[in-house]
Structure 1
Amino acid sequence: MFTVDKNARAEHTEELVPSRYALQVGEIDVLVVSDGVLPLPTSTMATNATKADLSAWLDHMFMPQEAFDWPLNVLVARSGEQIILVDTGLGSQFSGFPRAGQFPARLKAAGIDLAAVTDVVITHMHMDHVGGLLAEGVKEQLRPDVRIHVAAAEVEFWDAPDFTQTVMPTPVPNVLRSTAASFLKEYRSNLHIFQDRHEVAPGVVVRLTGGHTPGHSVVDLASEGELLTFAGDAMFPVAFDHPEWHNGFEHDPVESERVRVGLFRELARNGGLLVASHLPFPSVGRVAIDGDAFRWVPVIWDF
């Protein structure tokens, strides 16, 4: 199990809510870390739903009508001698998001040295998944030979990204383009590009799903009969009740719906744990089928 450095813990006592959650998947140590929250308009939750239907769902969930805090979760896994980051959060280079971009500091507070990281898996190249690698001082702390795993379809997509099916706040597409370009410029020599499926470490497999972006991928952990899937942006909180509702950040909404439903059914069938980038922290739970919809069953925290 991941251990917490006592000095780092002492330096981090000002946080009043937990920002990391540790668990084990067989022999694989896992740490879910909150990168913070990102405020977004609620309209991005369901671009193909009526305003009345979305409003009713928000009321049902005791959520505000105009804007909501989008959770940002990343994952650390230790398998054998390898320490793997799965996504890296928003980073600190974006003004206006003071509660996001916490991942590097929170990783340090957990006693995990960036220099010990052997591999990074990028589920997709949106700014809230690669931005942490662009934060000041991060690259200097990483080992020069760190392996960054990303799907070939994702790298190809960001050469000329298509936003025609997205419904994002106006400034976002340009920021996504520039962040992806900066990431590729800074880390191209570290990229380990895979096609459909790749074993990153024993029991740690990244596989292409597409949908949210053409190269969107999920990460499966499997050890001693236990399973966990880090699903990236394949689903959002509203998706359990309404898997057919499209998110404004999906580059192919119809394919995203197909991928989402497929993953839900797979998780309901195999009983594995689910962690996703934008489910409420620590985002660890299971999926059950509930008629035409699905049910999210959070784990009971193990203290």
Structure 2
Amino acid sequence: MKLASIAAALAVAFAAPAYAAAPLAGTNAPGFFRIMLGDFEVTAISDGTVDLPMDKLLHQPAATTGKELARSWLNVPLETSVTGYLVNTGGKLVLIDTGAGNLFGPTLGKLLANLKASGYQPEQVDEIYITHLHPDHVGGLAANGKATFPNAVVRAEQHDTDFWLSQANLDQAPADSKGFFQGAMASVAPYASAQRLQPFNAGVELTPGIRANAGYGHTPGHTTYLVESKGKKLLLIGDLIHVGAVQFDHPEVTIGFDSDSKTAAAARLKTFQAVAKDGTLVGASHLAFPGLGHLRSAGKAFDWVPVNYTQLR
């Protein structure tokens, strides 16, 4: 080929449109992740993430928090997942926690859309179990005063409903805490008015294969849920942990959201020791989505082993 021909060919090649220069897409895939637990289907559903100033929220020196986050290539504020879990037992469709709805800012409130993307509709949810009545766990229950899950019964631990749904407690609360009470009240109101809010006392099986256990401390009635099918176990621990990069090494470190820090720390340590011993799978609301994994004892600390990615077939 003559030199002139080569030059002409190169000119044409470099003049061709650069298709890789498309605009940035800016989004991830819909946020759901599904596993089988015995005969039960469990779907982790993302409500989104929220940036939290963990250097201010954790009860330890801010510089210590910054160093411990940096060891895991994390920053302050920490982008923190909010996750609910949908359990299809074959007999019932049970949603555990509902995300923040519109109570916690624009980066959350995606649980309903992701539930639909996962193949379910809100009308199909039979029961909703709440770990505790903080806004990022109950806000998705209602929108514009109407129940988001029109056929569901809502179950929450009696100590939590007594505390967060109390007008007297709202009246006495500091100004910066009143929103927690108001958010809980507004979220459960459509269900309560329809006689579909049913408090319970911890230590009871709510439906075959799902048992509610006390995990008090983070709130007065904070509850964990043990899901079990054919000998396979999953413990959904709600807010027993917020920051894996800190609290797995130092389970004694508490957070400003705790109602009773000492009791919350004791509940976390007791639960971590139990699941590390028996190998129960764990689901945590605020660990990086999907928040599923196992714990391994490491002296006084714990190692977190995330679940392996699985493609159901």
What is the distance in 2 between the residues matched to 1:178 and 1:118?
A: 25
In structure 2, relative to structure 1, the CA distance for the partners of 1:274 and 1:28 (3 Å cut) is same
Q: Is structure 2 residue 233 aligned with structure 1 residue 233?
A: no
1:24 aligned residue (19, 22, 36): 36
**C-alpha contact 2:140 2:187 (8 A) present in aligned 1:** no
Query: What does residue 189 of structure 2 align with?
Result: 185
Deviation at 1:275, TM superposition (A): 0.5
Structure 2, unmatched stretches of 5+, are 1-24
**C-alpha contact 1:74 1:89 (8 A) present in aligned 2:** yes
Q: Is structure 2 residue 211 aligned with structure 1 residue 199?
A: no
SS of residue matched to 1:268: helix
What is the CA deviation profile of residues 192-223 of structure 1, one whole-angstrom value per residue up to 9, with x for unaligned ones? 21112222222111122211001000110111
Query: What does residue 100 of structure 2 align with?
Result: 90
What is the distance in 2 between the residues matched to 1:35 and 1:155?
A: 23
Query: What does residue 128 of structure 2 align with?
Result: 120
Query: What does residue 150 of structure 1 align with?
Result: 156
SS of residue matched to 2:241: coil
Q: Name the % identity.
A: 31
Query: What does residue 45 of structure 2 align with?
Result: 33
User: Which amino acid counterpart does residue 102 of structure 1 have in structure 2?
Assistant: K
Query: What does residue 5 of structure 1 align with?
Result: none
Q: Which runs of 4+ in 1 moved over 3 A?
A: none
User: Matches of residues 1-303 of structure 1 in structure 2 within 5 Å?
Assistant: 15-47=27-59, 49-65=60-76, 67-94=77-104, 97-136=105-144, 139=147, 141-143=149-151, 146-158=152-164, 159=166, 160-161=168-169, 173-188=177-192, 189-236=195-242, 237=244, 238-303=246-311
User: Which amino acid counterpart does residue 102 of structure 2 have in structure 1?
Assistant: S
User: Which amino acid counterpart does residue 235 of structure 1 have in structure 2?
Assistant: I
The structure with the largest alpha-carbon Rg is 2
What is the CA deviation profile of residues 280-303 of structure 1, one whole-angstrom value per residue up to 9, with x for unaligned ones? 001110001111111101111112
User: What TM-score does the superposition give when structure 1 sets the normalisation length?
Assistant: 0.86
User: Which amino acid counterpart does residue 240 of structure 1 have in structure 2?
Assistant: F
**C-alpha contact 2:55 2:66 (8 A) present in aligned 1:** no
SS of residue matched to 1:300: coil
Deviation at 1:52, TM superposition (A): 2.6
Structure 1, unmatched stretches of 5+, are 1-12
User: Which amino acid counterpart does residue 69 of structure 1 have in structure 2?
Assistant: E
**C-alpha contact 2:140 2:148 (8 A) present in aligned 1:** no
What is the distance in 2 between the residues matched to 1:182 and 1:241?
A: 37
User: Which amino acid counterpart does residue 92 of structure 2 have in structure 1?
Assistant: Q
Deviation at 1:184, TM superposition (A): 3.8
User: What TM-score does the superposition give when structure 2 sets the normalisation length?
Assistant: 0.84
In structure 2, relative to structure 1, the CA distance for the partners of 1:72 and 1:196 (3 Å cut) is same
What is the distance in 1 between the residues matched to 2:110 and 2:271?
A: 28
User: Which amino acid counterpart does residue 96 of structure 2 have in structure 1?
Assistant: V
Query: What does residue 10 of structure 2 align with?
Result: none
Deviation at 1:25, TM superposition (A): 1.0
What is the distance in 1 between the residues matched to 2:26 and 2:185?
A: 36
In structure 2, relative to structure 1, the CA distance for the partners of 1:251 and 1:117 (3 Å cut) is same
SS of residue matched to 1:267: helix
In structure 2, relative to structure 1, the CA distance for the partners of 1:23 and 1:171 (3 Å cut) is farther
**C-alpha contact 1:92 1:136 (8 A) present in aligned 2:** no
Deviation at 1:142, TM superposition (A): 1.6
User: Which amino acid counterpart does residue 90 of structure 2 have in structure 1?
Assistant: G
User: Which amino acid counterpart does residue 197 of structure 1 have in structure 2?
Assistant: G
User: Which amino acid counterpart does residue 49 of structure 2 have in structure 1?
Assistant: V
User: Which amino acid counterpart does residue 72 of structure 1 have in structure 2?
Assistant: V
